[in-house]
């Protein structure tokens, strides 16, 4: 019974963090570094996170100069699939970085590996800007040095776009 409670708690946490991460990717796509990566993705390119055998996940797509939320229908162009909820939990709770999780075979990437790496650079940038330094140190293989003024500008823009995305009918 304890294993079921643990699984349920981890699953609920992962569901919440996937929602947060998806929204942060959309909101953070206005960051100048992410903007530099976006032209490398074809228009309409879809990227998803999921857990094997579960309904958990999120999907974004490149539309113009942003990532936008995308429907979870059909096959994504790039899908990062965790092999188990506990693996997604370790990553989402910052117990394991994405680089370590990939090296430990905790998730697989279905799609273009170069675009997968490009997307991970976008995610790393958003995490480096939005997470407090002690947490970003745990979450990222290496934390880039971002001048304080740049970090504040980028974080403020991401938070602004995150809030706009929560208001029905507003454009992010």
Q: What is the mean pLDDT of residues 153-169?
A: 88
Burial of 116 (0-12, 13-18, 19+ CB in 10 A): middle
86 pLDDT above the threshold of 90: yes
- Tell me how far apart the alpha carbons of residues 80 and 168 are, in angstroms, rounded to a whole number: 29
Name the pTM for this structure. 0.87
Q: Is the pLDDT of residue 34 over 60?
A: yes
pLDDT for position 170: 66
Average pLDDT over all residues of the chain: 91
Check if the beta carbon of residue 118 is closer than 8 Å to that of residue 142. Answer: no
Residue written as token pair 């879809």: 46
What mean pLDDT do residues 7-36 have?
A: 95
- How far is it, in rounded angstroms, from Cα 159 to Cα 92? 20
The reported pLDDT for the residue numbered 102 is: 85
Rounded to an integer, what distance in angstroms lies between the CA atom of residue 73 and that of residue 29? 22
Residue 2 has pLDDT above 80, yes or no: no
Distance between CA atoms of residues 52 and 43, nearest Å: 27
Task: Grade residue 33 by pLDDT with cuts at 50, 70 and 90.
Answer: very high
Distance CA 86, CA 71 (A): 25
pLDDT, residue 28, reads 95
Identify whether the C-beta of residue 28 lies closer than 8 Å to the C-beta of residue 125: yes
Residue 138 confidence class, pLDDT cut points 50, 70, 90: confident
The torsion region of residue 111 among left (phi > 0), alpha (psi -120 to 50) and beta comes to left
Helix H or strand E encompassing 108: strand 107-110
What whole-number distance in Å separates Cα of residue 76 and Cα of residue 57?
Answer: 12
Residue 61 — very low, low, confident or very high, per pLDDT cuts 50/70/90? very high
Task: Tell me the pLDDT tens digit for each residue of 102-129.
Answer: 889 999 999 999 999 999 899 999 999 9
pLDDT of residue 171: 58
State the average pLDDT over residues 65-78.
Answer: 92
The strands making up 57-63's β-sheet, listed across from edge to edge, are 66-69, 57-63, 46-51, 78-82, 107-110
* Mean pLDDT of the region 66-78: 92
């Amino acid at each position: 019974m304890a294993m079921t409670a643990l699984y349920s708690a981890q699953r609920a946490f992962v569901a919440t963090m996937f929602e947060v991460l998806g929204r942060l990717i959309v909101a953070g796509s206005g960051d100048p570094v992410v903007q530099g990566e976006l032209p490398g993705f074809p228009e309409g390119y879809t990227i998803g996170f999921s857990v094997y055998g579960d309904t958990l996940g999120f999907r974004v797509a490149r539309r113009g100069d942003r990532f936008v939320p995308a429907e979870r229908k059909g096959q994504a162009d790039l899908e990062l699939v965790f092999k188990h909820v506990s693996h997604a939990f370790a990553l989402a709770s910052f117990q394991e970085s994405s680089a370590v999780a990939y090296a430990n075979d905790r998730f697989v990437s279905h799609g273009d590996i170069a675009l997968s790496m490009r997307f991970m650079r976008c995610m790393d940038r958003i995490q480096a800007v939005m997470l407090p330094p002690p947490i970003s140190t745990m979450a990222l293989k290496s934390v880039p040095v971002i001048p304080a003024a740049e970090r504040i500008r980028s974080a403020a823009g991401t938070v602004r776009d995150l809030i706009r995305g929560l208001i029905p009918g507003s454009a992010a």
